[in-house]
Structure 1
Amino acid sequence: MSTILVTSDTLAPQALDLLREHDLVFTGKNPAEERIVELCREHNPVGIIVRYGKLGAAAMDAAPALKVMSKHGSGTDNIDKVAAKERGIEVVAAAGANAAAVAEQALALLLACAKSVSRIDARMHAGHWDKASHTSVELDSQTVGVVGLGAIGQRFARMAHGLGMRVLGFDPFAKSLPDYITVTDVPTILREAEVISLHCPLTEENRHLLNASTLAQCKRGVIVVNTARGGLIDEDALLAAVRSGQVGGAGLDSFEVEPMQPGHPFQNEPGIVLSPHIGAVTNGAYVNMGLFAARNALAVLARHTAAA
């Protein structure tokens, strides 16, 4: 019986059932790269279901039987895809499996920023009643710029449209988009949007897409939401922009370094709403991502078996 390595301590029971014909080895929570390499060397898996940890050339070389790395989610930036291609190892992702969950998190962060939910809640719990002094942002008729129009970005765009927002979108690869999304470029989004929500993968080309220069091009008071990858934002520049009022609020579910370390300046900034990269952590998404990851891995392995 061949082995599949899971870089976590759990999978949804439905996914475990699909994989019952294989021996499953779990790395435990948040495994170090060295631990993954060690288990690859020990068990020589034919497949890896990637939840946490980095999968680099060393792990691939430690598992000569490896045929597929199947991501438990849509983002594959913790997999060295160049190294995988060089070794003939397929990399597949659970595209769309967590779309509803992450889009809902983006909407929650947007509303939290626009309505000052965290600050008002803290004030209420401290015994204050700020009705006479508080004004929130009304999103109806405002413009939202959605960067990245995959399954998550399109789902969020539909929600924003449902709130009565004008939706601008940028994605050079998206096709057959609904008519309520006006396709444009990033400079136009920076110039016209009251809200910018990031839903694109991180690449070397778009790293620090939002930086001191691009944030300065935005409307004053713009709200920034990021449920994609932390590296899309220059965190120092965002902090400065929030403190100056150029950015009216930021809702963040991903960060350049995770987990966030104690003392990070975001932790003491009331203009930034934080969540610990849990956009996809819902009961429905957990099952969907497990099923997608298992099915994708099994499909690749079946092709290899048929070709042998």
Structure 2
Amino acid sequence: MNAATPKPSLIVTGNDLAPDALQMLRDFEIVFAGRTPTESDLIALCATHKPVAIIVRYGKINAKVMDACGGNLQVISKHGSGIDVIDQKAAAERGIAVRAAVGANAAAVAEHTWALILACANSVPQLDARMRAGHWDKSTHKSLELAGRTIGLVGLGAIGRRVAAVAVAFDMNVLAYDPYAKEAPAGVTLVALDALFAASDIVSLHCPLTDENRQMINAEALGKFKRGAILVNTARGGLIDEPALADAIASGHLLAAGLDSFDVEPMSSPHVFQRLSNAILSPHIGGVSDAAYVNMGKGAAANVIDVIDSHARSAA
């Protein structure tokens, strides 16, 4: 890029990127939108800077935001893997590429999945609270031992496969449902979704959110779960009918749930889950590890550069 040529603008819907990613994007004028950019914030920034690219960390990118870029926008790159926050139909209609940093946070999300599974199976937060209140529950507590139990994975991508590998190491039976999977790793059996619900002691969600699977975990689906099962969601909150899940937990049909994502984020307060001690909650940080932060930034930056360079070659 010629030094005399003004740098093209790139908007980040956040207030930071990993230094390695910033170095990769040194030929762009980077504008940070802050941690909680609203639609009007993004429209105003896009109208002012006319970016060629947007890296999405927080918030949503809709048609109004795209149109505010004045036709300059070439790529919307997700800092992570979940592109449901981007209006993909609107982007396609405008010839704007949508990219995800696929697999960049797979290790982090898989590890957090197991943190939630183990916390649910062993009542870790509840025992901690009881100890701090002066109780010693050794004579009454029983954990759910995982060896020999069945875990059902909804989604068998990069994250699901990592979760499966740990489950195999724990001597668990591993089932998976993924309509796009042509094969399964050793120790994993592909089954129909209803069969997975009925057979699993733990159900863990690892699929993207689409119009077709929104609220797939509803009252009807939960009715097919084993009594005493555990549900874990480190994917997208929109996959779950939250009131139905709360009812299933409160009634004792489910032993516990470990939840890292919610239908509305930040999670509203008060929220029905806050009243349930066996709903173990975290604020959508499954993919936010030290290494994942760098990997997602570099992945998002690489996707921007790839699309911009491709456009430049086509125009040459």
User: Which TM-score tier does this pair reach, normalised by the shorter chain?
Assistant: over 0.9
Partner of 2:267: 260
Match of 2:35 among 19, 29, 33: 29
Question: 5 Å matches for 1:1-308?
Answer: 1-63=7-69, 64-308=71-315
TM-score (norm 1): 0.99
Report Cα offsets for 1:12-37 as digits up to 9, x if no partner.
00000000011001101110011111
Of the structure 1 ranges 298-307 and 203-212, higher mean CA displacement relative to structure 2 is found in 203-212
Secondary structure, counterpart of 1:158 in structure 2: helix
TM-score when normalising by structure 2: 0.96
Structure 2 distance, partners of 1:138, 1:123, is 21
Partner secondary structure for residue 114 of structure 1:
helix
- Partner SS state of residue 77, structure 1: helix
Number of aligned residue pairs: 308
Q: For 2:183 and 2:212, how far apart are their aligned partners in 1?
A: 25
Give the stretch that moved more between structures: 139-148 or 206-215. 206-215
Where in structure 2 are there 5+ consecutive unaligned residues?
Answer: 1-6
1:142 Cα deviation after fit: 0.4
Deviations 1:239-297 (Å, cap 9, x if unpaired)? Answer: 11111111110000000111112211111211100000000111000000000000011
Q: Give the root-mean-square deviation of aligned CA atoms.
A: 0.8
Quote the sequence identity (%). Answer: 54
Partners of 1:35 and 1:213 in 2: CA distance: 40
For 1:68-114, what per-residue CA distance to the aligned partner results, in whole angstroms no more than 9, with x for missing partners? 00000000011000000000000000000000000111100000000
Amino acid at match of 1:270: S
Query: Residues of 2 paired with 1:153 and 1:228: CA distance?
Result: 10
Task: Report the CA distance between 1:209 and its aligned residue.
Answer: 1.1
Q: Distance in 1 between matches of 2:157 and 2:19?
A: 28
> Deviation of residue 219 (structure 1)?
0.7
Deviation at 1:176, TM superposition (A): 4.1
